[in-house]
Amino acid sequence: MAGKLYDEKSIESLNPLEFTRLRPQVYAGDCSYSTQLVVEIISNAVDEFRLGHGNLIDVTIKDTTVIVEDYGQGFLVNSVREDGKTILEAAFSVLNTSGKYREDGTYEGTSLGSFGIGSKITTYLSHWLEVVTHRDGQYEHLWFKEGVFDKRDVGKWDNKENPSGTLVQWQASEEFFTNPKPEVEKLKKLFKTIVCLCPGLTIKLDDNGNKTEFFSKNGLMDLLDEGVKDKEIIKNRFSINFSEGKNKIDLALTYTNNYSSTIVPYVNTGLTEAGPHITQIKTLLTREFNKFFRDKGWLKEKDDNLTGDDCQEGMYLVFNITAPNVGYDAQVKSRVTKLDMKPFTQAIAEELQYWFAANEKEIKGIADKALNARKAREAARKARDAARGVDKKKKEKIVKFDSKLADCNSRDRSKCEIYITEGDSASGNLKLARNNEFQAVLPVRGKILNTQKASLDKIQKNAEIMTMIEAFGLTIDYKNMKVTYRKEDLRYGKIIIMSDADVDGAHIKNLFYTFIWNFCPELILDGYVYAGVPPLYRVTMRGKHLYLKDDAALLSFREKNKGSTYDVSRLKGLGEMDVDETEDTLTSVENRIIKQVIVEDITLANKLFDDLMGTSAIPRKEYITAHAKEAQYDI
């Protein structure tokens, strides 16, 4: 039966007010309560404090009505724009209107309110909203009903004790929120955090007559005190207050006797959940701890580096980064997509080294805890492997091999990915640079067996191949002498072959593809196999690095930058890159290049593998002769 056909009325164009009221969760996130509306208005008031205007914010809740008053600089009063709206009216009704976009503006591009959306969604999703702003001896008072401008009042302001500021009050609509009231306990927790991030700021909350005042004397240290309570195991915490131009970071770290770690990451005073700032700080901490532990002999030369989980067991870390041009994935700003960490990483590393040297006894306690964490992790892995292996050995008699797999933590295995690399040197930085929540690394020794004509019995004797079979969650099927998988047992949604950008690297990739295509082609046909493309060149220009994947990219760069001064260096291989380069180019989901391996013609693919990887040399010579002009020479 044919479905309905759309006509000229099916395709609609909605204005911002109509769209927001139709899909409120796009901007407001979870609409169980109207809490996000309070967060949006409070964020604007906090931006005022951080700019140096007003050290008090009053918040009053009366049933479903909320009032937020700040004592900042206020809006320009009754200042009319070209569209006939005043600046105040536009700020509360015209989407993407803000004074916080530009780095050279009043807020220097470092405010939390960076989209020009927050105050507008409060207007759009409320039955009514009033806003009063005053400065320079005048006030402007606006009324909105169901998101639409209603009326305006202007006049003289003669309150000398309160010369400037803005008051916003509104009633959230039950049409858009399951409960139009804000979550008071969540707000209390937020206010307590905000004053710790903004020492000197006071927030007063009046919740239906119940009054609470929030103020922090010691900033982030107060947050740490609240988080660790009596579980702290070191006396001298690590802290850094670094500032360079518009870039600032306040960071405090301690260790507890807990077995888990806690990271409380803020950006421009907004709490975040994920992003490059978290990944890079964790990577940096892991790298510096490992380096110091080795220098002191606590980590032996023969020992592998400790993982991030090992080093971070019991860690409690709080930080707030102030930076311009931060990118977010949505209006609620919980996931950061872009943040330049280079101004901060060197400063943190240097301060860590001073802290290590001044507190060696306490750092030794952290090292002991990390080493015990590794022992416990390895013991748990062996116990799991033993439990899983009993039935398999009975049914399949598969030989088990030791593995240097650095696994990831996520239980959603479909979102996990594994990097296959050659050797420990190539995998070392990948292990440090990866996001161990969803990225795993498995090094293999040298080039694996050419399996084009190999039997199942032969591959079972190859430790590297058997390790991959086990790591991927594959099963050996003795009935058809193949390797198979069930989707629910597969341990990674992406299998990424990451080798050097040279002839040897290409050969390693081909050996891997040959094994998969001959014994478990479904992995390729179902889209699980990817090729990593490491860059071949690094260009340094005006103190910044740019990575180029091949000669064509380098040629294009040179044509576009004729007359410019820059330095080009060829990257020698995965093992020669440092951790920051590895993260920038290989593990960063936003920046890396990976290509899905696709087979369009199965018959042709079978012939190609047989010609290039089979025992006869004649087809290989013919292929090389036919494609010689496509080859690239590395002189």
Q: Which residue has the higher pLDDT, 290 or 161?
A: 290
Query: How do residues 345-356 score in pLDDT, each as one tens digit?
Result: 888 889 999 999
Q: Which residue has the higher pLDDT, 372 or 10?
A: 372
When computed from its CA atoms, the radius of gyration of the chain, rounded to whole angstroms, is 30
Per-residue pLDDT at 204: 93
Residue 168 has pLDDT above 90, yes or no: yes
Mean pLDDT taken over the chain: 81
pTM of the model: 0.54
b (16+ CB within 10 A) / e for 457-473:
eebbebbbbbbbbbbbe
- SS3 for 201? coil
Query: Mean pLDDT over residues 120-146, rounded?
Result: 90
Lowest mean pLDDT among 29-38, 52-61, 188-197, 605-614: 605-614
Q: How confident is the model at residue 316 (pLDDT cuts 50, 70, 90)?
A: very high
CA separation for the pair 407, 491 (Å, rounded): 10
Q: How many CA atoms lie within 13 A of 141 on its CB side?
A: 6
Q: Which residue has the higher pLDDT, 330 or 134?
A: 134
Residue 144 has pLDDT above 60, yes or no: yes
Lowest mean pLDDT among 58-67, 412-421, 508-517, 573-582: 573-582
Residue 360 has pLDDT above 80, yes or no: yes
- SS3 for 65? strand
Q: Which range among 324-338, 390-404, 418-432, 523-537 has the greatest average pLDDT? A: 523-537
Residue 394 has pLDDT above 50, yes or no: no
Pair of tokens at residue 253: 């770290």
Query: Mean pLDDT over residues 133-151, rounded?
Result: 90
Per-residue pLDDT at 300: 82
Determine how many CB atoms are found less than 10 A away from the CB of residue 238. Answer: 21
Q: Which CATH number fits domain 16-214: 1.20.140.10, 3.30.565.10, 1.10.10.10, 3.30.420.270?
A: 3.30.565.10
Query: Mean pLDDT over residues 430-440, rounded?
Result: 88
- SS3 for 102? coil
Residue 111 has pLDDT above 50, yes or no: no
Query: How do residues 234-268 score in pLDDT, each as one tens digit?
Result: 889 898 888 888 888 899 999 988 878 888 888 88
SS (H, E, C) 465-534: HHHHHHHHCCEEECCCCEEECCCCCCCCCEEEECCCCCHHHHHHHHHHHHHHHHHCCHHHHCCCEEEECC
Per DSSP, 403 falls in state: -
Query: How do residues 531-552 score in pLDDT, each as one tens digit?
Result: 888 888 888 888 787 888 888 8
In DSSP terms, which residues pair with 244 in a beta bridge? 247
Pair of tokens at residue 84: 């006939």
Per-residue pLDDT at 206: 93
CA separation for the pair 236, 331 (Å, rounded): 38
Q: How confident is the model at residue 104 (pLDDT cuts 50, 70, 90)?
A: very low
Per-residue pLDDT at 69: 92
Query: How do residues 207-232 score in pLDDT, each as one tens digit?
Result: 998 999 999 888 888 888 888 888 88
| pLDDT > 90 fraction of the chain, expressed in percent and rounded | 14
Q: How confident is the model at residue 417 (pLDDT cuts 50, 70, 90)?
A: very high
Per-residue pLDDT at 214: 92
Provide CB contacts within 8 A for 396, sequence distance 6+.
Answer: 475, 476, 478
Instruction: Give the torsion sign (CA, 471, 477, 482, 484).
Output: negative
Q: How many CA atoms lie within 13 A of 521 on its CB side?
A: 12
Q: Which residue has the higher pLDDT, 389 or 426?
A: 426
Per DSSP, 4 falls in state: P
- CA-closest candidate to residue 372, choices 313, 431, 428, 288: 313
Burial of 21 (0-12, 13-18, 19+ CB in 10 A): middle
CA separation for the pair 240, 575 (Å, rounded): 32
Pair of tokens at residue 622: 């013919």
In DSSP terms, which residues pair with 141 in a beta bridge? 132, 153
Q: How confident is the model at residue 385 (pLDDT cuts 50, 70, 90)?
A: low
Per-residue pLDDT at 401: 43
**Which class would CATH give 220-372?**
alpha beta
Per-residue pLDDT at 438: 92
Tell me if 16-214 shares its fold with 220-372.
no
Report domain extents, the chain.
16-214, 220-372
Query: Mean pLDDT over residues 135-139, rounded?
Result: 90
Per-residue pLDDT at 630: 57
Residue 101 has pLDDT above 60, yes or no: no
Instruction: Give the torsion sign (CA, 282, 288, 291, 293).
Output: negative
Q: What angle do CA 216, 220, 221 make, to 5 degrees?
A: 85
Q: How confident is the model at residue 485 (pLDDT cuts 50, 70, 90)?
A: confident
Q: Which amino acid is located at 368 in the chain?
A: D
Residue 389 has pLDDT above 70, yes or no: no
Q: Which residue has the higher pLDDT, 422 or 521?
A: 521
Per-residue pLDDT at 445: 73
Pair of tokens at residue 471: 């790591």
Residue 100 has pLDDT above 50, yes or no: no
Residue 121 has pLDDT above 70, yes or no: yes
CA separation for the pair 217, 200 (Å, rounded): 7
Give CA separation, 376 vs 302, 312, 379, 390, 467, in Å. Answer: 19, 14, 5, 21, 22
SS (H, E, C) 233-247: CCCCCEEEEEEECCE
Is residue 453 a contact partner of residue 383, using CB atoms and an 8 Å limit?
no
Per-residue pLDDT at 470: 87
